[in-house]
Structure 1
Amino acid sequence: MPRKSFAELINSPGMPVLVDFYATWCGPCKTMAPILEQVAAQHQGKLRIIKIDVDRNPAVAQQFKVQSIPTLLLFSQGQPVWRQAGVVPAPQLTRALQPFLS
């Protein structure tokens, strides 16, 4: 199966896509990982979460002006609609995403 491009990944029809820009060496990113797993489980079928390693994909991070990690960027129909840098507690993240979930 061929790898999908970033544009294909964020153009998930009918479902917003939350992108976690992270790095393997980043402590706060490791803190954010279980929070994202919890949010993904709560919103299964309503939200897609993908992870982008900024060290392996610097052009994508640069394209979206990611200057610190972790940075979360929510896409709806391929367009960025919400952004947050830093660690976000699960309840706060859920509240922020709620308007975009159907």
Structure 2
Amino acid sequence: MSKFGELIDLNIPVLLDFYTEWSKDSIAMHPVLRDVAAAVGDRGKIIKINVDKNNELADALRIKSLPTLIIYKKGEMIWRQSGEQDATTLIGIMEEYAN
């Protein structure tokens, strides 16, 4: 999990998307997250984490429903939400924490 620590220990907001390929709600978030990434650019980072391939991390973070979105900045969790979100909301949150 030391690699995880490196991923989230940035001075910009890092949005983690916990998903699976078999969850249609997770799949529905893919284009939304592409839009968020395009809008935020280098002021934020988006990382998709497949729960099926990262069970230990998902368990450690108590991921119970999908998708679960978590934002970290400087190694600290600053926002968390389960379920689908729209691009406008996510862009706004990312922009807020980018400053």
TM-score, normalised via structure 1 length: 0.89
For 1:44 and 1:98, locate their aligned partners in 2 and report how far apart those are by CA, in whole Å. 10
Aligned to 1:35: 32
Letter of the aligned partner of 2:65 in structure 1?
S
* Residue aligned with 2:18, SS: strand
For 1:17 and 1:66, locate their aligned partners in 2 and report how far apart those are by CA, in whole Å. 17
Aligned to 1:20: 17
Q: Which runs of 5+ in 1 are unaligned?
A: none
> After the TM superposition, which residues 1-102 of structure 1 pair with which residues of structure 2 at under 5 Å, given as runs?
5-12=3-10, 14-102=11-99
Shift of 1:98: 2.9
For 2:38 and 2:45, locate their aligned partners in 1 and report how far apart those are by CA, in whole Å. 10
Shift of 1:18: 0.5
TM-score, normalised via structure 2 length: 0.92
For 1:6 and 1:70, locate their aligned partners in 2 and report how far apart those are by CA, in whole Å. 19
For 1:89 and 1:17, locate their aligned partners in 2 and report how far apart those are by CA, in whole Å. 17
Number of residue pairs matched by the alignment: 98
Shift of 1:57: 0.6
Please list every run of at least 4 consecutive aligned residues from structure 1 whose deviation after the TM superposition is greater than 3 angstroms.
none
For 2:16 and 2:61, locate their aligned partners in 1 and report how far apart those are by CA, in whole Å. 11
Shift of 1:6: 1.2
Higher helix proportion: 2
For 2:45 and 2:93, locate their aligned partners in 1 and report how far apart those are by CA, in whole Å. 15
2:8 touches 2:75 (CA, 8 Å); kept in 1? Answer: yes
Letter of the aligned partner of 1:52 in structure 2?
I
* Residue aligned with 1:45, SS: helix
Q: Which runs of 5+ in 2 are unaligned?
A: none
